[in-house]
């Protein structure tokens, strides 16, 4: 079992500390939730792990794989708004081909079709352009591209926030399937305790760039240690009712 290990991670903008001594782990076959309010540092942590840190920010600490392999070859990113990930002048097929070329992988059309089918997409979507696809379809395309990259881990940054309820459910089903059938490790970044309750094995709570609480999902729901997590749970229960393990 491999594992992403983030150890003593700090990100600074000048004298301002944006991420403060972050220590988290994401294991194969597990969905790890990073939960926090807007501006808490969730997305910054995601982009830092991906290696997309802005030049004006200073990084210290360590991000690595337990196996010692290069993280960039094992990690794929699913973003909140998939539309900005695709070149509007390219068909979905060409977007996929461009990604495969960047990874040095073959353009195996049968493999592409099989992977697209595995996430509920028919092969005719390959001839469409991004503007002809719904947000839910594009989110599935991003997941399919992640699978084609041979990634072992996925960072999913608010993957359902811009989708309708049916598309949200479909994307969550796919993520759960990837965990169970592909043994993928998933870092699920969200502000939605409902998503956490359904999918997460373990939860980290982040606020003002610090991890303020962490626990197994059920234990956190039953016995939150901080006022932030307690308030988030109360807000969730007010909307959706009791939590059932």
Question: Into how many domains does the chain fold?
Answer: 1
**Contact predicate 83/138, CB 8 Å:** yes
| pLDDT for residue 243 | 52
- Provide the pLDDT for residue 239: 64
What's the number of CA atoms in the CB half-sphere (13 Å) around residue 204?
A: 21
Asked if residue 124 belongs to a domain, the reply is: no
Q: Does a structural domain hold residue 11?
A: yes
Neighbours of 234 (CB within 10 A): 12
In a domain, residue 56? The reply is yes
CATH of the domain at 47: 3.40.50.300
pLDDT for position 125: 94
Lateral strand order in the sheet of 16-27: 16-27, 3-13, 58-65
Mean pLDDT by 10 residues, the chain (245 residues): 95 95 96 90 92 92 92 86 87 94 90 92 93 91 90 90 81 91 93 85 94 92 85 72 52
Residue 219 lies in a domain: yes
Q: For residue 8, tell me if it sits in a domain.
A: yes
Task: Please report the pLDDT score of residue 196 as a whole number.
Answer: 87
Residue 77 lies in a domain: no
Reduce the DSSP state of residue 167 to 3 states and report it. Answer: helix
Q: b/e for 208-231, b at 16 or more Cβ within 10 A?
A: ebbbbbbbebeebbeebeeebbee
Q: Which pLDDT belongs to residue 245?
A: 46
Asked if residue 232 is part of any domain, the answer here is yes
Domain membership flag for residue 88: no
Query: Domain span at residue 219?
Result: 1-25+33-68+189-245
């Amino acid at each position: 079992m491999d594992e992403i290990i983030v150890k003593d991670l700090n990100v600074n903008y000048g004298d301002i500390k944006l991420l403060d001594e972050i220590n988290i782990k994401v294991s194969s076959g597990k969905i790890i939730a990073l939960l926090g309010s807007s501006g808490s540092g969730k997305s910054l942590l995601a982009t830092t792990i991906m290696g997309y840190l802005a030049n004006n920010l200073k990084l210290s600490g360590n991000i690595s794989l337990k196996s010692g392999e290069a993280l960039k070859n094992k990690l794929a990113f699913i973003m909140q708004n998939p539309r900005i990930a695709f070149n509007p002048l390219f068909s979905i097929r060409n977007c996929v081909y461009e990604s495969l070329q960047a990874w040095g992988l073959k353009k195996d059309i049968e493999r592409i079709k099989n992977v697209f089918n595995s996430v509920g997409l028919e092969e005719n979507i390959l001839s469409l352009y991004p503007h002809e696809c719904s947000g839910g379809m594009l989110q599935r395309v991003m997941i399919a591209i992640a699978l084609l990259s041979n990634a072992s881990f996925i960072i999913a940054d608010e993957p359902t926030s811009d989708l309708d309820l049916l598309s949200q459910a479909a994307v969550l089903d796919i993520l759960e399937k990837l965990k169970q059938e592909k043994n993928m490790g998933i870092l699920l970044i969200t502000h939605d305790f409902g998503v956490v309750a359904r999918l997460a094995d373990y939860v980290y709570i982040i606020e003002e760039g610090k991890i303020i609480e962490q626990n197994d999902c059920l234990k956190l729901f039953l016995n939150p240690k901080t006022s932030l997590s307690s308030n988030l749970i109360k807000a969730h229960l007010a909307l959706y009712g009791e939590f059932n393990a």
